Structure 1
């Protein structure tokens, strides 16, 4: 069964709210994270790298060898705040890795060519 798709209007509103800070609900944060993961998966189609943002979501992306069982050889994992910053361009990939805010394993687990996935000029 196909995964439910987040409408760009709803996703964009959630992203803007999450970036504005303040008292953002868990549901809004979850929608923002899942929407930005969805955009990444659409922009970098494939199944070589698994990007995880627990507890909100994970996607497989980037062309290359398909992974189907167990722990994938190329994994990127980070928290929601870091993912929002990376995906919207307020944090550079190299800085996040250097600061230990991203755990990236595998030779293809570098998202720098695919970020940011959303800004006000390219976003919803």
Structure 2
């Protein structure tokens, strides 16, 4: 967790709430998810994979062929809790995929080399 974005107040607040068994406040959860998605896009620039964390956000990242129309061929989708756990290293990529917590499609949809952030 070396990035100042990852140490943001929103990320810390969400992790604390989850650790205490509470549901994080929706606006704070949204900010934390979007902050970490932005870090991913910075560290893995590109437009070949779309990472979706409904209902809070999505980014395109990872170098490779650019997608411009329709449904992207490489999609990664997960819930907000899974995204936070992956981004900060509390959950491993392989474990999340195996457990069905992450849905992937496409040959470039493996984010294991980019996580944790």
TM-score normalized by the length of structure 1: 0.85
Residue 24 (structure 1) shift: 2.1
- List structure 1 runs of 4+ shifted beyond 4 angstroms: 8-11
Kindly provide the CA deviation profile for residues 81-107 of structure 1, in whole angstroms up to 9, marking residues without a partner as x. Answer: 000000000000000000000001000
Equivalent residue pairs, number: 110
TM-score normalized by the length of structure 2: 0.90
CA distance in 1 between counterparts of 2:91 and 2:79 reads 13
- 1:12 maps to 8
Contact 1:11/1:31, CA 8 A, preserved across alignment: no
- 2:67 maps to 67
Counterparts in 2 of 1:42-121, with a 5 A limit? 42-117=42-117
Residues 62 and 9 of structure 1, relative CA distance in 2, 3 Å threshold: closer
